[in-house]
Each structure stands twice: as C-alpha cells, then as structure tokens.
Structure 1
C-alpha cells in the first residue's frame, strides 16, 4: 500500500477489527460475573474414581435414603450448660429439622462429659451441592449470636464448605477490582503517559471477557469442572499474562516507529518481530497447563483447561485487537514521549540496560557463577517448606465460624465427633473388623451404623455392614490422617473382610496421595514439553537445556525463599500438598516466558551481529520491558492475597516472588552472562553455532567498548 490510499486502507482495517472485538466484548462481558454460578467446591467430587474414599462414598449411598453432609451446631458455656441453655438447644433443634434440605429426624443433642458444651448434628442433603451454604446460613440465623456467655458456632464439613463458598463467591468483585487497580498503577508508572495505559488494560479486559465466556460454556455443559480456586487464578493469570504480551508488543512497536515513517509499516514490523515470541510463550504456557490433564484429581484437571483457555483467549486478543488499537492511536498513543522517525539505535533508549549489558560482558563468568551460587543457597530453604494437608483452623487467614466451632468440639469431645471415619466390611467379619479398628491408635470408639439409632440393629446392605469410627483428633488434622492410614492397614489385613475406609478425613488422605503422584508424573512431562518448544524456537539443543536448568534453579530458590517467608514472616504452619505442583506449573510456565522473550531477541540479533554482541543487544533492548512485565505479573498474582485462604495467599506469594527473582536475577544476569560466556556454542548443534564466529569476535569488541 502506498500514500494516502495505504493509510486509509490501514485505518479502515483497524476500525473494523476494533468494532468487531467491541461487539464480541459486549456479548462476552456479562459472563465474567456468571462464573460463580457454574463453580463447584465439593472436595469429594474431585477425587479419582479409584480412590478408596470414592469407593466408600459409593457404598455409603446404599445405607441411607439420601447422602448427607453433616453440620455440627455446637453450644458452649465454660461455667456449665444451664437448663435454660438446654431448652434453647431443644427449640433450635426442632427448627433445624424443619429447614428444607435438612434430612430428619435429627439425632438428640449430645452433651459433653464436662457438661460445658452441647452438640447438635444436622445432616444436610448432599445433593443440595452449592445450596449447602444457604442451609448453613439458615442454621446460623436460627442459632443466633452469642448470648449471656453462651457461644454458638456451626462447624463440621457443611460449616467448612459454607465458609469456603462464601470466600469463593466474593472472588469476582474484590479480586478483579484489585487486579485492575494494580495493573493500572504499574502501567502509569511504566509508560508515564495519560493515554497509552488504556490500550493494554482494555485488551486485557477483553481477554478476560472472552475467556469467561468459553469457561462458562464449558463448565455449564460439564466439559470441565470449575472451582473457586481456578476461577481466582484465571482472573490474575489473564490480566498478568495479557499485560506481559501487551508490554512486549508495544515496546517493539515503539522501537519500529523510529525506523518506519508510517505506523502501519511500524506495526507490521513489530508484529513480525514480537508475534513469534508471544505465540511461543503462550503456547508454552498453554501446553504446560494442559499437562495438568494428566492429574488424577479432577480439581487439577479443571485448573489446566480453565487456565489454558484464558491464555488462548489472551493470545488471540493481544495479537489482533491490541495492534488495531495501537494503529488507531498512532504516534499520539505515546504522548508526551512520542517516538520520532529518526532511525535511532534502539539501544539509545535503554541506557541503564546498556550499562548492565556492559557489566555482564566484563564479568560474565563471575556473574553467572555468583548468581547460581546465591540461587542454590536460597534453594536450601526448601527443607523448611513442611508440605502438609492444612487443617481447618489453618485453611483461612481469618478465624471463621467453622474454625471456632471445631475448636470448641476439640475442647469438649473426641475431636472427630460428628465426622467419623466409615468402614464398610462383609457382615461375617464385621465384629472382628470392629475389634481391630478399636485397637488402632487415634480411634476413640467404633460402632455399627443403624437407621434406628445407636441402640438399633446393624444395617446390612448387599451383605455389607457399615462401621463408624470416631477419631480422637480433629478430622482435618495430621493426627486424624495418620489414624486413617493406620486404620486402613489394620482392617485390610482382616481375611475375607474386603474392608473399605472412607469419610471426610479419608478424602483428605486420598487427595494428598493423589497430589504426590501428580507431582511425580506431571513435573517431568512439563519440563520435556518446554524443552521441545524451546528447541524448535531457538533451533538448538544446548540453549534449551541451559534455559530449563536456570528455570528449575529459579523454581527451587523460590520455594526455599517462600519457605522462609511462610514460616518466619507469615507464620503459616506449612503448605498444602498441592502447592509444589501448582507453584511449579505457574512459575516454570510463566518463567520460561521471559527466557523466550530474551533469547528469541538474542537469536535475532545474533544472526546480524554475532552471538556475544547479540546477547548484549538483546539484553539492552528487552531488559526494561521484561522487568516491567515481571513486575506486572508479580503484582497481579500478589492480588490473591486479598482472599482469606492460605492456599491462594501462598500461591500468590510464590508466583510473585518467583517472577521477580526470575526477571531481576535470572533473566537480567544469570542467563545473559551464561550465554555470553559460552558464546556461539550456545546454539549447538544449529547452524548459528558455526556461522557467526567472525561476528562474535566483533561482539567481543562491542563488549570491550561497554
């Protein structure tokens, strides 16, 4: 295209693209607020089908007309329960039984041995799903507030689920608002323009709307399972990654505006230069996230496609909608620092990064050795990580009603009361299994289940009997999980019993075991996939191996640093079993982005200048944008800290710390210093490792000049 006609055609194309996307945004936008309608937060539904707890659930269905999730309403008066208190409990119990969703008749209230507490077990129809939270809210309304020294709390599995639902229901508004504000502030600082920040933020919002539409449709049609955790991560991932891609494209566009008079030509050159790196980066993240489909946990399998859909939508928007917006803005989009058509060397706009490149060149070997040693030292902190299954009292950053109630139960009853382990065994061996179970450390009592109450005859279904084992420790504690493992070993040894152990604690045990298995399977697959993508992109084998080694070292250093932060700064008891896998997938998949951004530009410059000069130029021109992108991504993930869930706070801190470590240390010092020290051999066995030796000698002279 030439002259005015070319400008007119380019403008028309840009306008059509922008208007088309605005129509799409108008259709997709409302679905961002509907994701909570299709989310599920029942831990049991995420277990693998072959888990023992899952088989126990299937067997339990035959012993009851309806599956239930118990809520435990506990009343406490430390000076002793009075007759008036007992009357209040009886009146409340009668009203509980009348609630829709409550499965009656209710068992009689249980007075503790020290007569300081009364507990009412309220079975709630498990088929209610998300409505369990609404039933618990009604229980809390009926029970009322603390009064005259009598405290009332609703705990148990249903109380915990209700508190989780309340947290996840609040994700859409506060988390999205905090993320938007964080991105806006950083973009204003980075661009120092009252105009330019609008473009990436508008494109990121469009990406989120499009992703929400697809995720909603997939979840509504049961193609994937969406939970609150995946919903929260989707928000920060789309805005964080989307802003990263926007920063890279805008930086390249600004650079090309110095070389091309017409914005159309500049954008075409910028798109051609930046799109391969953005596409490779997005593809790496998508494929890495899809590796979660190998997980045995449905919750992990849900997170993978949900996040991958978010990245795919972001790629599509950032490579079409954003360029069109920038074209319409032209040079004025950068006001007041508009780039001129002057053929300026791009390195002249990056003075501080030129100086850093010079420092790396002069001390390359020292730089990469020292940074590698520092990262390795941080990695030693992994020994303090303390991976465990977080108990109910450790799950929230705030003290919830279910946590307070569980603490009351632990003070006055065997802590497992109301949430027993269930043992299913053949009728002929039931008595022997009960005796063996009673002898297991951590088991307080064992009794057969009867529809007619504790005094009734044992229920027999298809030749099987259900035993209920009350545990001494809280059902979500390490002690309870240890008791379940020992209980399973003991009852499995009874000949002919075909015993199966389930219940709330057993679900946690099987979830933890599945998480360990997933970590051992998925991490190697992710590394292999990333290695293949890097090898194709860089057309080399040595460079991908070195880059993956730096990412793994950075990941271990991040875990070590987080262990120290969690233990000594935030006073968290440990991390959940799922934390290492989630942290790995997000840190490695996102961390490799910056490797791709840097090394794809280094390779491009190496073709023209030689490897060592290419390393210095690549570092100088991408250092600022990569660091800005890292700060944006770290800030968006740190927005997870507004949610009162320890698991998401820990993940947000880990990704934020890891990304900052990656951009400031690994990508700015370790990788360029290592590549500079190795020289052209870094591209082995590609042709570039053999054809730019002369250019590399010129690059050494450039380094000396720095």
Structure 2
C-alpha cells in the first residue's frame, strides 16, 4: 500500500525513529568538542548538563503547547527544535565559560571573573537569542504551513534557552566556581588570533579579495541549483510506502501514477455538441503543450480522440452506406438490362403476333361472310323441310302412331328420317346465334388489331428508355463508386493518423449508453464542470514537471479565448501543480522572511553596536555567507553526490543562518567596541585575540552539531543540517575570521559611524 497519506505516515515514523539516533550523535559531537576545548571532564559534564536542562525545558514548553493545540508541530519542526536547542545552548555556555576563563587568565579572582564574564557576554547572549527568535518568528509570516509550523516552536525553545543561559547557567557557574570546578586546564593563548588580527589590520585589502574569491566558489555554483520535489527520493528505501511506489513503478511510469487534474467550471450545461467542440479544443491544446504526455477527457477517454469522431470519417461513413448499397444497385442495374433484353424479345413477339392477328382478322372477316351465306342456305333448307313436312305429315303421323313401328324396319327408318328433319330447325337457330357472335368478332378484331401498333411503339419506347436509363445510371454509379472510395479512404487515414483537427460529435452520440457512462466519469452531475486527467512526459515531481504546469495553464487560456467558455473558471491540481504552488510559496516566503529577518537583524545589531555601518556590514557579510554556503551545499549534494537539494532545505537554511550567522559577528563587534579605548587597530587586534578562540569553538560546536543531522534516516533533515553546518563553518572560519574584520579594518573609524572613536588610544597593545 502506498500513496500520499502512507508516505506522510512513514515520514513521521522514520523521523521519530531517527530523532533518537540524531540526538545521541549530536550529544556525542558536543561532548567530544567540549572535551577538546576544555580538557576537563567536570567542565564538559556540567556544560552538557546545562545544555540538557535548557533543552529539556525548551522541549517541554513546546511539547506542552503543542499538546494543547496552541501551536502546530511537524516532524521537521521537532528535529530543528532539538538541533537548534543543543547548538544554541552549547554556544551560550561556551561564550560564558570562555569569557570566564579569559578573565581568570588575566588574573581576576573567581568572583570578579564571574562578573566580568556575565557582563561581557550577557548582552551578546540576549542579542543573539533575540536575533534567532526574531528570525525564526519571521517564519510565522510565511504562507506555507511547513515553514510556518517551525517558527513559533523554534522561537520558544530559543527563548527558554536564552532565559536559562542568563539565569541557570550563571548560577551554576557561580556555584561551581566557589569549589574551583571551572578553572581553565591549559594556558590561555591569544597569540594565534592576535597574529591573525594583526595580519588583517596590516593587509585588509588582499585578505578581503582572497575571502571574496573563496566565497565565489559557492556563489558561482548557486545558479546551477535545481530543487528537488520528489519527497520519496529523500525517504529511507525500506519504508513500506516507498517499497510500494517501487513496485508500482515497475509497471507504471511516475507520470501515470501522479497525473494532474484539470477542471473547467462553466455557468451552463456542457452536454451538447458545441461545448464538446470547445472541450476537445482545450484537451487538444493542453495535449500539445510542451511536457504533456497524455490528456484524458470526455472527448478522448483513452488519451486519443474518440474513434471515428473526425468529420472526414463521418463523411466517409455516409459514403460507406452507399458502398454497401452499391452491390445491390449494380445487381438491379443488371436486372434492368435483363428486363430491357426481355422487352426486346417481347416486342419481336408482339410484332409477329400483330402479323398473325392481321391475317386472322382477314380470315375472320371472310369466314363471317361465308357463315352468313351458310345461314341463308340453312334458312332455305329449313323452309323446304317445312314444306316437305307439311305434305308428308299424315304419313309421318302413321309412323308415330304405329305401335309396332320399331319392329317394322321401313317404319322405324322413315320415322328416324322425320326426326332428323326436326333437328334442322335447331341447327338453323344455333347458326343464327353463331352468326351474331362471329359478326361481333368481325367487328372487334379490327379494333384489337388497331391497338397493336401503339402498344408495340410504347414497348419500343420503354425499351429504349430502359437502355438509356441503364447507360446513364451505370455512369453515375461508376462516379459514385470512385467518390465513395476516396471518401472512405480519407476517413480511414484520418482515423489511423489519430488526427484531431476536425473533431465533431453528432447529437445522437449523447444517447449512446457508453458515452453516457463517460459523461458520468468526466462531467459533474449538473453538467457544468468537466475534468481532464493530464499525464506528464517525464517525472511530475521535478522542475520540468513544474514548468509543464505553466505550459498547460497558458495552453488552456489560449484554448478558451473567444469561445463560450471564455469566462469559465479553470482549476488545476496534482503533484506538479502542488509543487508549483510550493515553489511559488517558498519563493514568496523566502523573500518575505528573508527581508523581515535582515531588517530585524539590522535593528538588533544597530541597538547592540550603536553603529549603522557596522550593522550594515554584519548584515551584508551574513548575506554573502548565505549565498556561498548554499552554493557549497549544492556543489556537494547535487554535483558530487547526485542528489538535488530538497526545495524545503534552502529557504529554511537561509532563515536559520540569517539568525545564527550574525551571532559570532555580534560577539566580535561587541568585543571590538569594548576594546575601542585602546584605539581602532589595537582594539581590533585585542578583540580578535580575546574572542577568536571562543567564537571559533562555539561556531565549530554549532556547525558539527547541525552536521550530525546527516545521520537522520530522512535525507531532507540531513541536507538541512549539513547546509546549516556548512554555512556556520564558512561564517566562522572565513566571514567572521577574515572577511568582516578586513572590511572593518578598511573602513577604519567609518565602520563605527555615527559613533566617534579615537584612531589611536593611550594604552599599548596588550
């Protein structure tokens, strides 16, 4: 299981586990450094006891307020509170013990040495503490919760440590000094630092040039700084969420697992063809933005345009129906030709029938005449038979009266003849009826015959029309075949090319069940908002991914310009979008907190030193130290180790170094001001000799304590600690020891403007 929530939980768990290890290492570093400085187990143990009590008190206050929900806490805030508390507490103890040892070496008794130490460093501790408190409180002005959550906790722990350093530490020092517990174990030697001070006074210009050259090493590396935004790269490899990410990355790219969500919110329903055109235009323009790998929207749910949604394909699709019907149309054209051929045969048959009918009409006409003649003859024969019957009726009656006529041959034969004579009358009547019908046929036959020529002419016309129609339709169908073939190929090629320049969704698509499911996925229930999933070409959690967000926003703004969605609201979220907000927020917070811290540091330095120029020099050298130290950290982590500095490291390091980096300069300037009675140059050499060792020891302890954070399982904590540690080393060994003193020596009495100081004192160099 993995994801943002799991990663946050694992980060907290890893931070809590490594906090104990980091604290032990830091305590070990402080113990070793104090043993090297004081060569006394008792002094070291008491110093650690003081630091431990101060830290426990500070952490207790912070934890109590956090538990009461008065202030917020984060994993990084807890780590920074611990490291900052240990380092600052140790520094203040070193300041106090160092000045006490110096006074003892100068021959003062224990009580006088205590008062000298307290009066000499109390204002420095207070000014230093207030500087750190003010600078860390400037984090509360920031917008990012990650920075804001560190401001109050760090300020509170420093306030507690300053209060303890001004009360508890002096009390323990006063009590222990009565029993001789804090006596210096080795001879106090200022010779080395006095020689450095003398060299700076003698050659301030060359030394300033050399120190500026050293600073340029870091400053020239700074432009190549590339912040890292992938939090997983800074987590331990064995945490479950990172293991889960690694398993997922074996199958999916980081871009697929960390897409951006682009949402367009309009004031009307977007579920219509016209708005779909605009939505696809937005998706297409966003897809063509530099750095975008894929855009999924309702018009391209799989990252490519919906299949067959181009206008050429839809035009070709209309031709596809014609192509499907073309075979049937060609078959019907063949039937038409067959019909024409059959009609030609029918016309020939009709012409032959017409010839036969003409002959039949003539025959019928002749036969009608003959039948009329026969009818007349039949009437004549009937009349003759009637006459014969009248004359032979008595004989005929005999034949019918004779009972035995059937037995008499002549009788029966004669009787049969007379019966036959009776049939002539029936035949005559039938002949009359036949003649009437034949006469009608004789009249109708010419009429029927007269209909044949027009009928044949019409059939010939139809035959010619069919042939003409077939010829015309054949040409038209050939043209249709060619035109539909091209349109279909055009649509096919547009589909294969995934060309989205001519997208269109017809209204009937909105009734499609699959499209309705897509609408539910990509559009809000009221249809007024549409979302798109944007995948990067590279890693979203990178500088390139952040730049891609800007490209997408510009592309969307251009896409909706002049469309019905011109006034729509555009929202974007995701890994890269969040990192872009973090980048802009960090830049804003760094500028805000940096300017506020510099102004606050300037005011505090001005109050302590009373010199505008001295305060400006301190602030300026701190700024140079910041740039150089961050550049060196970039050189080590990014260029040598191949790991980008987390975006969170530089802003926070700058704020902490702004606060802490001025402490050592403040101690030096305060000591310089204290020695001004001996003259500028003499007082400067004395100040370097008296404070050099103490300040260097304090700076080294602070730096190595912060560098101890590198053992943390969270690489962000390690980067933060090493960056601050490198800054402190650079500030202690270069800026405080050479750069700032050389500037003060070059400026001379103008360094103390508007204060009036004597160039030459009445006392010699001690």
| More off after superposition, 423-432 vs 231-240 | 423-432
Q: Does 1:305 align with 2:152?
A: yes
Q: 2:206 aligns to what?
A: 366
Aligned match for 2:606, one of 526, 529, 535: 535
Cα gap change, 1:261/1:382 in structure 2, threshold over 3 Å: closer, same or farther?
A: closer
User: After the TM superposition, which residues 267-346 of structure 1 pair with which residues of structure 2 at under 5 Å, given as runs?
Assistant: 267-330=114-177, 332=179, 334=181, 337=184
Q: 1:590 aligns to what?
A: 660
Q: Does 1:694 align with 2:760?
A: yes
Give unpaired runs (5+ residues) of structure 2: 302-513, 561-565
Q: 1:349 aligns to what?
A: 189
Aligned match for 1:437, one of 264, 283, 286: 283
CA distance in 2, matches of 1:438, 1:170: 48
Q: Does 1:415 align with 2:254?
A: yes
Corresponding pairs, count: 533
CA distance in 2, matches of 1:208, 1:458: 54
Deviation track 1:501-550 (CA, whole Å, cap 9, x = no partner) reads 12343222211111112223222222222112111111111111122222
Q: 1:599 aligns to what?
A: 669
Deviation track 1:650-671 (CA, whole Å, cap 9, x = no partner) reads 2211111111111112111222
Q: Does 1:615 align with 2:684?
A: yes
User: After the TM superposition, which residues 633-672 of structure 1 pair with which residues of structure 2 at under 5 Å, given as runs?
Assistant: 633-672=702-741
Cα gap change, 1:498/1:615 in structure 2, threshold over 3 Å: closer, same or farther?
A: same
CA distance in 2, matches of 1:391, 1:286: 31
SS of the counterpart of 1:198? helix
Answer whether contact 2:131 2:659 (CA < 8 A) is retained. yes
CA distance in 2, matches of 1:414, 1:408: 11
User: How far 1:587 sits from its partner (Å)?
Assistant: 1.6
Cα gap change, 1:222/1:492 in structure 2, threshold over 3 Å: closer, same or farther?
A: farther
Q: 1:424 aligns to what?
A: 263
User: How far 1:326 sits from its partner (Å)?
Assistant: 1.3
Cα gap change, 1:486/1:221 in structure 2, threshold over 3 Å: closer, same or farther?
A: farther
Aligned match for 1:381, one of 210, 216, 221: 221
Q: 1:519 aligns to what?
A: 590
Cα gap change, 1:179/1:211 in structure 2, threshold over 3 Å: closer, same or farther?
A: same
Answer whether contact 1:437 1:490 (CA < 8 A) is retained. no
Answer whether contact 1:398 1:644 (CA < 8 A) is retained. no
Cα gap change, 1:499/1:670 in structure 2, threshold over 3 Å: closer, same or farther?
A: closer
Cα gap change, 1:356/1:480 in structure 2, threshold over 3 Å: closer, same or farther?
A: closer
Q: 1:179 aligns to what?
A: 26
Answer whether contact 2:260 2:573 (CA < 8 A) is retained. yes
User: How far 1:634 sits from its partner (Å)?
Assistant: 0.7
User: How far 1:210 sits from its partner (Å)?
Assistant: 1.8
User: How far 1:252 sits from its partner (Å)?
Assistant: 1.3
CA distance in 1, matches of 2:733, 2:256: 51
User: How far 1:258 sits from its partner (Å)?
Assistant: 4.9
| Higher gyration radius (CA) | 2
| More off after superposition, 210-219 vs 479-488 | 479-488
Q: 2:90 aligns to what?
A: 243
CA distance in 1, matches of 2:574, 2:611: 52
Give unpaired runs (5+ residues) of structure 1: 1-153, 340-345
Q: Does 1:496 align with 2:496?
A: no
CA distance in 2, matches of 1:552, 1:156: 39
Superposition misfits of 4+ residues, deviation over 6 angstroms: 452-455
Q: 1:554 aligns to what?
A: 625
TM-score by length of 2: 0.65
Q: CA RMSD in A?
A: 2.9
Q: 1:485 aligns to what?
A: 550
Q: 1:14 aligns to what?
A: none
Aligned match for 1:232, one of 56, 73, 79: 79
CA distance in 2, matches of 1:351, 1:477: 52
Q: 1:476 aligns to what?
A: 541
